[in-house]
Structure 1
């Protein structure tokens, strides 16, 4: 909320609202997110950067918790190097999420690392440059949307087990599962450059191209109803082969205009 209030003030300089009033205005259905404590559907780059920031904050450095806010505050690596050189001890301990091999299987786990100060500064220098570029490209694509275009950012979440509010003991063994396909639609400046979230809920637990196409058949008409002059949808995904980067999806894109009446 602290970072969101700062962002609100930057985007709306003419509106004066105190931090306390901004906190009180948060709708009850909007829950707070902790970047370094969430355990599902995480972006690996954001999470690893958040874990490094958490480690540096524990050492007394005055840095934001939010990785995006950190990038805005340190727009150059030279500024970051000065902060690290004066504030870090000789050895730096931090946590990272990485793949490790256990019993001949690769698993993603949080691993404790300990490196010398110079090595940590070099690591932050390279990773911050890559992270900054990633964040800037992401927001640049959103800002550069033309009129009659939208960008659809989508990805599968984990499969979730449904639980009953009131249930008898043996119902534990009959719990159903659902698959969630999360989507965020970015609109152009002519539409207020807003972001609208959607989620597709299905009892089909497969994460494949058929499920994606079925969800889009329901979502695209909703977008056309909300934004009648829409002509193009730009798709943004993390591109796993089984879900998005395959011949079925390419065929769908080739026939996008025929199926939906707009380009994709």
Structure 2
């Protein structure tokens, strides 16, 4: 068994929320079938270009809805797990040194991968499971990106991973993906983008001087509403702006879809985010 994981990131600092990270996990026993069916659907819809949230338009809306519906069929069956992490701008970290501030992107990415899937609850068997990760293109210099991959690789020596018998076969199992070659990563981009769009109030944006919202904004809102509807088929009354609750800690793994509103341990409240702004 192998867990195949794609990760993506979005808005660093939006109007209200920032540091958006997304991940999707698929078991190797399901991967080939899911990948094949999503690519087959893309060909049926004649979506020849890369599927991305930023490319959602009125003309392509129905096609995007079709492929995202198929993607969420797999999520609902727990064949695809999705995790979204973000921070609220109201809670600002304090006590960080300059190195930590400079490495904020990677430090948050590390926390995201370490905790977001609830790996410590993922393997009740005695059989080892390997990890294969494809990160969306990392934004920094090659040396810094390679250093970050080594930190991810070292996670396998921590208690959570040792006890769960999770490991990397080699450093080559941590790579960077060219997103237009990976349909699963493209679907994740759409889901992550839709959450950032809604949480930062972009669904209400109007062009300067205009009374009505633009066609693209209205199309994106319809796609977001479809995604929210599919999530609520799994979790009625799902709150996209809060950490998804647990009836048991093992839900961090067993749930097919979860959100994590990450809050630093030591924070100060940014007072510009008063109750009205919230």
Does the TM-score normalized on the shorter chain lie above 0.5? Answer: no
Question: Larger relative CO (CA 8 A, sep 6+): 1 or 2?
Answer: 2
TM-score (norm 2): 0.31
With the length of structure 1 as denominator, give the TM-score of the two structures.
Answer: 0.32
